[in-house]
Amino acid sequence: MSNSQSVFTRERFIMIKFLCNAFSLNMLNSLTSTIRVDELTLGQAQVMTVDVDSAVGHADTAAVFGNVLCTPVPMARVTVQLVPGDQILVGQYVGPRLPEGASILPEGASIKWALVSIS
């Protein structure tokens, strides 16, 4: 099985700190870091959300994530600080601006899921 086809399981990635709706260099404890981004399927992302704290800072985005992931995702405006060995699950919304009060993806929108690992 090639790297791009590897299976992601919750057991393999036990250092996931947060579910986030974005990734920023500001999250890094040190800018001298290596960042790896692995795109995930929705099914892989769903496995990753078990017992993971939310750092999704907007209520509408959290509602849409919860709907897509089939699990509650609370809105939580927290400061995320990552050190080597940390991993976060990022849902990158792609599409038009979410309408106020949205809880489902608007037509033409999608979410790209990624596992971001810091070393």
Q: How many residues does the chain have?
A: 119
Residue of 46, 1, 38 lying closest to 19 (CA atoms) = 46
The pLDDT value given to residue 61? 95
The whole-angstrom separation of Cα 118 and Cα 112 is: 19
What letter represents residue 91's amino acid?
A: G
What pLDDT digit, counting tens, does each position of 43-80 carry? 999 998 988 999 999 999 999 999 999 999 999 999 99
β-pairing, 87-94 with 35-40? unpaired
CATH of 10-118 given 3.40.50.300, 3.40.50.11170, 3.90.340.10, 3.60.15.10: 3.40.50.11170
What pLDDT digit, counting tens, does each position of 2-49 carry? 333 344 444 454 567 899 999 999 999 999 999 999 999 999 999 989
Please give the model's pTM, rounded to 2 decimal places. Answer: 0.84
80's enclosing H/E stretch is: none
The pLDDT value given to residue 15? 63
Q: How many CB atoms lie within 10 A of CB 83?
A: 12
Residue-range domain boundaries for the chain: 10-118
Structure-token pair, residue 47: 């496995």
Residue of 93, 103, 81, 86 lying closest to 14 (CA atoms) = 86
